[in-house]
A = this chain, B = another copy of it.
Amino acid sequence: MSARRYILKLSCPDRVGIVAAVSAFLASHQGWIVEAQHHSDPDTDTFFMRHEVLASSLPFDLAGLRERFLPIAEEYGMDWSVSDSEVRKRVVILASRQAHCLDDLLYRWRSGELPFDLRAVISNHDTSRSFVEWHGIPHRVLPIAPDDRDAGFRAVDAAIEAAAAEVIVLARYMQVLPSWLCRKYPGRILNIHHSFLPSFIGAKPYHQAHERGVKYVGATCHYVTEQLDDGPIIEQDAIRTNHADTVGELIRMGREVEKAVLARGLRYHLEDRVLLHGRRTVVFG
Protein backbone atom coordinates (compact mmCIF):
# COMPACT_ATOMS: atom_id res chain seq x y z
CA MET A 1 0.00 0.00 0.00
CA SER A 2 2.84 2.36 0.91
CA ALA A 3 5.18 3.35 -1.89
CA ARG A 4 8.41 1.34 -2.24
CA ARG A 5 11.17 2.56 0.02
CA TYR A 6 14.85 1.85 0.53
CA ILE A 7 15.86 1.62 4.16
CA LEU A 8 19.36 2.64 5.15
CA LYS A 9 20.47 1.86 8.65
CA LEU A 10 23.89 2.40 10.12
CA SER A 11 25.93 2.93 13.22
CA CYS A 12 29.44 4.40 13.51
CA PRO A 13 31.70 6.33 15.88
CA ASP A 14 30.11 9.72 16.48
CA ARG A 15 31.70 12.85 14.99
CA VAL A 16 30.67 16.09 13.33
CA GLY A 17 29.36 15.82 9.80
CA ILE A 18 27.78 12.36 9.57
CA VAL A 19 24.24 13.62 9.03
CA ALA A 20 25.53 16.22 6.59
CA ALA A 21 27.44 13.62 4.59
CA VAL A 22 24.50 11.21 4.39
CA SER A 23 21.87 13.82 3.66
CA ALA A 24 24.06 15.59 1.09
CA PHE A 25 24.57 12.23 -0.62
CA LEU A 26 20.84 11.59 -0.74
CA ALA A 27 19.97 15.13 -1.80
CA SER A 28 22.54 15.07 -4.59
CA HIS A 29 20.55 12.17 -6.10
CA GLN A 30 17.17 13.77 -5.40
CA GLY A 31 16.41 11.17 -2.73
CA TRP A 32 13.14 11.94 -0.98
CA ILE A 33 13.47 11.14 2.74
CA VAL A 34 10.20 9.78 4.09
CA GLU A 35 11.36 8.98 7.59
CA ALA A 36 14.63 9.77 9.39
CA GLN A 37 15.84 9.07 12.89
CA HIS A 38 19.16 9.53 14.65
CA HIS A 39 20.53 8.67 18.04
CA SER A 40 23.83 9.65 19.62
CA ASP A 41 24.89 7.59 22.58
CA PRO A 42 26.97 9.85 24.81
CA ASP A 43 28.41 6.98 26.88
CA THR A 44 30.06 5.18 23.99
CA ASP A 45 30.18 8.06 21.46
CA THR A 46 28.32 5.97 18.96
CA PHE A 47 25.97 7.33 16.32
CA PHE A 48 22.92 5.48 14.96
CA MET A 49 20.80 6.45 11.99
CA ARG A 50 17.92 5.08 9.94
CA HIS A 51 16.47 6.61 6.78
CA GLU A 52 13.55 5.58 4.62
CA VAL A 53 13.95 6.98 1.11
CA LEU A 54 11.33 6.82 -1.64
CA ALA A 55 12.69 4.30 -4.15
CA SER A 56 11.16 6.09 -7.12
CA SER A 57 12.95 9.33 -6.22
CA LEU A 58 16.40 7.80 -6.79
CA PRO A 59 17.95 7.27 -10.23
CA PHE A 60 19.33 3.83 -9.32
CA ASP A 61 18.21 0.57 -7.75
CA LEU A 62 19.19 -0.96 -4.41
CA ALA A 63 22.48 -2.31 -5.78
CA GLY A 64 23.23 1.14 -7.19
CA LEU A 65 22.45 2.75 -3.85
CA ARG A 66 24.71 0.26 -2.08
CA GLU A 67 27.57 0.84 -4.48
CA ARG A 68 27.38 4.63 -4.36
CA PHE A 69 27.00 4.75 -0.58
CA LEU A 70 30.01 2.50 0.05
CA PRO A 71 32.67 5.27 0.02
CA ILE A 72 30.76 7.26 2.68
CA ALA A 73 30.31 4.15 4.79
CA GLU A 74 34.02 3.46 4.61
CA GLU A 75 35.01 7.03 5.38
CA TYR A 76 32.99 7.04 8.59
CA GLY A 77 33.64 3.43 9.57
CA MET A 78 29.99 2.50 9.42
CA ASP A 79 28.34 -0.78 10.27
CA TRP A 80 25.49 -0.50 7.76
CA SER A 81 22.88 -2.12 5.56
CA VAL A 82 20.32 -1.17 2.95
CA SER A 83 17.09 -3.00 2.30
CA ASP A 84 14.05 -2.79 0.07
CA SER A 85 10.59 -2.45 1.63
CA GLU A 86 9.16 -4.67 -1.09
CA VAL A 87 11.47 -7.60 -0.50
CA ARG A 88 9.93 -9.67 2.26
CA LYS A 89 12.25 -11.36 4.71
CA ARG A 90 12.24 -15.16 4.84
CA VAL A 91 10.99 -16.35 8.22
CA VAL A 92 10.79 -19.69 9.99
CA ILE A 93 8.67 -20.01 13.12
CA LEU A 94 9.57 -22.50 15.85
CA ALA A 95 6.62 -23.44 18.02
CA SER A 96 5.47 -26.00 20.51
CA ARG A 97 2.14 -27.03 22.05
CA GLN A 98 1.13 -23.56 23.25
CA ALA A 99 -0.10 -22.11 20.00
CA HIS A 100 -1.25 -18.57 20.83
CA CYS A 101 1.84 -16.80 19.47
CA LEU A 102 2.00 -19.05 16.41
CA ASP A 103 -1.69 -18.49 15.66
CA ASP A 104 -1.30 -14.75 16.13
CA LEU A 105 1.64 -14.61 13.72
CA LEU A 106 -0.31 -16.69 11.19
CA TYR A 107 -3.18 -14.20 11.40
CA ARG A 108 -0.80 -11.30 10.83
CA TRP A 109 0.81 -13.16 7.94
CA ARG A 110 -2.39 -14.14 6.14
CA SER A 111 -3.99 -10.69 6.62
CA GLY A 112 -0.86 -8.94 5.40
CA GLU A 113 -0.72 -7.03 8.65
CA LEU A 114 2.92 -8.11 9.04
CA PRO A 115 4.61 -8.55 5.67
CA PHE A 116 7.05 -11.44 5.64
CA ASP A 117 7.74 -14.57 3.63
CA LEU A 118 6.74 -17.44 5.90
CA ARG A 119 8.73 -20.48 4.77
CA ALA A 120 7.91 -23.06 7.38
CA VAL A 121 6.68 -23.78 10.84
CA ILE A 122 8.81 -26.19 12.85
CA SER A 123 7.33 -27.71 15.97
CA ASN A 124 8.27 -30.43 18.41
CA HIS A 125 4.61 -31.46 18.42
CA ASP A 126 2.01 -32.27 15.82
CA THR A 127 -0.84 -30.33 17.39
CA SER A 128 -0.89 -27.32 15.03
CA ARG A 129 -0.36 -29.20 11.79
CA SER A 130 -3.80 -28.88 10.19
CA PHE A 131 -4.15 -25.20 11.02
CA VAL A 132 -0.70 -24.38 9.66
CA GLU A 133 -1.22 -26.44 6.53
CA TRP A 134 -4.58 -24.76 5.85
CA HIS A 135 -2.44 -21.65 5.28
CA GLY A 136 -0.42 -23.50 2.66
CA ILE A 137 2.64 -23.39 4.89
CA PRO A 138 4.83 -26.47 5.45
CA HIS A 139 4.61 -27.81 8.99
CA ARG A 140 7.63 -29.85 10.12
CA VAL A 141 7.50 -31.91 13.30
CA LEU A 142 10.99 -32.21 14.72
CA PRO A 143 10.96 -33.53 18.28
CA ILE A 144 13.86 -32.80 20.61
CA ALA A 145 14.70 -36.03 22.37
CA PRO A 146 15.93 -35.31 25.91
CA ASP A 147 18.75 -37.83 25.57
CA ASP A 148 20.03 -36.43 22.28
CA ARG A 149 19.02 -32.82 22.08
CA ASP A 150 21.89 -32.05 19.76
CA ALA A 151 20.64 -34.42 17.09
CA GLY A 152 17.23 -32.79 17.36
CA PHE A 153 18.68 -29.35 16.88
CA ARG A 154 20.82 -30.46 13.94
CA ALA A 155 17.57 -31.46 12.26
CA VAL A 156 16.01 -28.12 13.18
CA ASP A 157 19.01 -26.29 11.77
CA ALA A 158 18.84 -28.30 8.57
CA ALA A 159 15.19 -27.25 8.22
CA ILE A 160 16.15 -23.61 8.83
CA GLU A 161 18.80 -23.90 6.14
CA ALA A 162 16.43 -25.65 3.75
CA ALA A 163 14.04 -22.74 4.18
CA ALA A 164 16.88 -20.24 3.62
CA ALA A 165 15.48 -18.39 6.64
CA GLU A 166 16.81 -14.94 7.43
CA VAL A 167 14.79 -14.66 10.63
CA ILE A 168 13.98 -17.39 13.17
CA VAL A 169 11.10 -16.69 15.54
CA LEU A 170 10.73 -18.69 18.73
CA ALA A 171 6.98 -18.44 19.30
CA ARG A 172 6.82 -20.00 22.79
CA TYR A 173 9.13 -22.78 21.59
CA MET A 174 9.87 -23.94 25.16
CA GLN A 175 13.26 -25.41 24.26
CA VAL A 176 16.60 -23.88 25.19
CA LEU A 177 18.70 -23.67 22.03
CA PRO A 178 22.24 -25.09 22.15
CA SER A 179 25.05 -22.56 22.14
CA TRP A 180 26.26 -23.45 18.66
CA LEU A 181 22.85 -22.66 17.21
CA CYS A 182 22.64 -19.30 19.03
CA ARG A 183 26.11 -18.38 17.75
CA LYS A 184 25.25 -19.38 14.20
CA TYR A 185 22.44 -16.82 13.84
CA PRO A 186 23.46 -13.73 15.84
CA GLY A 187 20.80 -10.99 15.84
CA ARG A 188 18.51 -13.22 13.77
CA ILE A 189 16.72 -15.35 16.37
CA LEU A 190 13.87 -13.59 18.19
CA ASN A 191 12.38 -15.09 21.33
CA ILE A 192 9.37 -14.16 23.40
CA HIS A 193 9.95 -14.72 27.08
CA HIS A 194 6.87 -14.77 29.27
CA SER A 195 8.14 -12.40 31.94
CA PHE A 196 9.19 -8.81 32.34
CA LEU A 197 12.91 -9.46 32.14
CA PRO A 198 15.19 -9.43 34.03
CA SER A 199 12.51 -10.59 36.48
CA PHE A 200 11.79 -14.32 36.44
CA ILE A 201 14.42 -15.75 34.16
CA GLY A 202 14.05 -19.40 33.21
CA ALA A 203 11.22 -21.86 33.70
CA LYS A 204 7.65 -21.20 34.84
CA PRO A 205 7.86 -17.42 35.15
CA TYR A 206 4.13 -17.04 35.88
CA HIS A 207 4.50 -19.42 38.81
CA GLN A 208 7.47 -17.38 39.99
CA ALA A 209 5.48 -14.16 39.59
CA HIS A 210 2.53 -15.55 41.53
CA GLU A 211 4.81 -16.77 44.28
CA ARG A 212 6.49 -13.34 44.57
CA GLY A 213 3.16 -11.53 44.60
CA VAL A 214 3.97 -8.98 41.90
CA LYS A 215 1.21 -6.65 40.75
CA TYR A 216 1.99 -6.93 37.02
CA VAL A 217 3.02 -9.73 34.70
CA GLY A 218 4.84 -9.02 31.48
CA ALA A 219 6.58 -10.33 28.43
CA THR A 220 9.86 -9.60 26.68
CA CYS A 221 10.91 -9.99 23.05
CA HIS A 222 14.67 -10.29 22.75
CA TYR A 223 17.41 -11.59 20.52
CA VAL A 224 18.67 -14.98 21.57
CA THR A 225 22.25 -15.23 22.77
CA GLU A 226 24.11 -18.04 24.42
CA GLN A 227 23.13 -16.87 27.86
CA LEU A 228 19.54 -17.80 28.74
CA ASP A 229 17.01 -14.93 28.62
CA ASP A 230 19.85 -12.44 28.55
CA GLY A 231 19.99 -11.22 24.95
CA PRO A 232 19.33 -7.62 23.83
CA ILE A 233 15.72 -6.62 24.55
CA ILE A 234 13.67 -5.39 21.59
CA GLU A 235 10.30 -4.86 23.20
CA GLN A 236 8.47 -5.36 26.49
CA ASP A 237 5.12 -4.79 28.06
CA ALA A 238 3.20 -5.70 31.19
CA ILE A 239 -0.37 -6.02 32.41
CA ARG A 240 -1.86 -5.38 35.83
CA THR A 241 -2.92 -8.32 37.96
CA ASN A 242 -4.14 -8.64 41.50
CA HIS A 243 -4.24 -11.01 44.43
CA ALA A 244 -7.30 -12.81 43.06
CA ASP A 245 -5.53 -13.94 39.90
CA THR A 246 -4.48 -17.57 40.07
CA VAL A 247 -1.48 -18.86 38.15
CA GLY A 248 -3.94 -20.03 35.51
CA GLU A 249 -5.30 -16.54 35.13
CA LEU A 250 -1.81 -15.04 34.98
CA ILE A 251 -1.07 -17.47 32.15
CA ARG A 252 -4.27 -16.45 30.32
CA MET A 253 -3.66 -12.72 30.77
CA GLY A 254 -0.01 -13.10 29.93
CA ARG A 255 -0.82 -14.66 26.56
CA GLU A 256 -2.27 -11.33 25.45
CA VAL A 257 0.94 -9.54 26.33
CA GLU A 258 3.14 -12.20 24.78
CA LYS A 259 1.31 -12.02 21.45
CA ALA A 260 1.40 -8.24 21.34
CA VAL A 261 5.04 -7.92 22.37
CA LEU A 262 6.28 -10.58 19.95
CA ALA A 263 4.30 -9.03 17.08
CA ARG A 264 5.70 -5.58 17.79
CA GLY A 265 9.24 -6.84 18.22
CA LEU A 266 9.05 -8.82 15.00
CA ARG A 267 7.64 -5.79 13.15
CA TYR A 268 10.56 -3.66 14.31
CA HIS A 269 12.98 -6.33 13.16
CA LEU A 270 11.32 -6.89 9.78
CA GLU A 271 11.24 -3.15 9.11
CA ASP A 272 14.94 -2.84 9.97
CA ARG A 273 14.17 -0.60 12.91
CA VAL A 274 16.42 -2.40 15.41
CA LEU A 275 20.15 -1.69 15.73
CA LEU A 276 22.30 -3.65 18.12
CA HIS A 277 24.33 -1.72 20.65
CA GLY A 278 26.23 -4.21 22.76
CA ARG A 279 23.77 -5.78 25.13
CA ARG A 280 21.14 -3.14 24.32
CA THR A 281 19.11 -2.18 21.27
CA VAL A 282 18.29 1.07 19.55
CA VAL A 283 14.72 0.79 18.22
CA PHE A 284 13.65 3.50 15.81
CA GLY A 285 9.94 2.74 16.33
Residues of A within 8 A of B (CB): 1-2, 16-17, 19-21, 23-24, 26-28, 30-42, 57, 99-100, 103-104, 107, 111, 113, 134, 196-200, 211-216, 218, 232-233, 235-238, 242-244, 246, 248, 252, 255-256, 260, 277, 279-283, 285
Contacts and interface: CB of A to CB of B under 8 A. Distances in A.
B107 A252 contact: no
Nearest to A34: B40
A32 B16 contact: yes
Contacts of A197: 199, 212, 214
Given A104-B107, A113-B252, A216-B237, 4 more contacts: A23-B23, A100-B107, A216-B236, A238-B238
B134 A16 contact: no
Contacts of A233: 212-215
Contacts of A24: 20, 23-24
Nearest to A247: B43
A24 B26 CA distance: 12
Stoichiometry, copies per complex? 4
A242 B27 CA distance: 27
A23 B33 contact: no
A198 B215 contact: no
B242 A214 contact: no
A7 to B, nearest CB: 15
16 contacts: A19-B33, A20-B26, A23-B23, A36-B38, A39-B244, A41-B243, A104-B107, A113-B255, A134-B134, A197-B212, A212-B280, A213-B280, A216-B238, A243-B280, A243-B282, A243-B283
A282 B281 CA distance: 26
Contacts of A103: 107, 111
Of A213, A248, A285, which is in contact with the most chain B CB atoms at under 10 Å from its CB? A213
Given A1-B248, A16-B57, A212 B196 contact: no
B243 A281 contact: yes
Contacts of A30: 16
Given A23-B23, A243-B283, A99 B113 contact: no
A197 B209 CA distance: 10
A236 B213 CA distance: 11
A27 B31 contact: no
A213 B232 contact: yes
A233 to B, nearest CB: 5
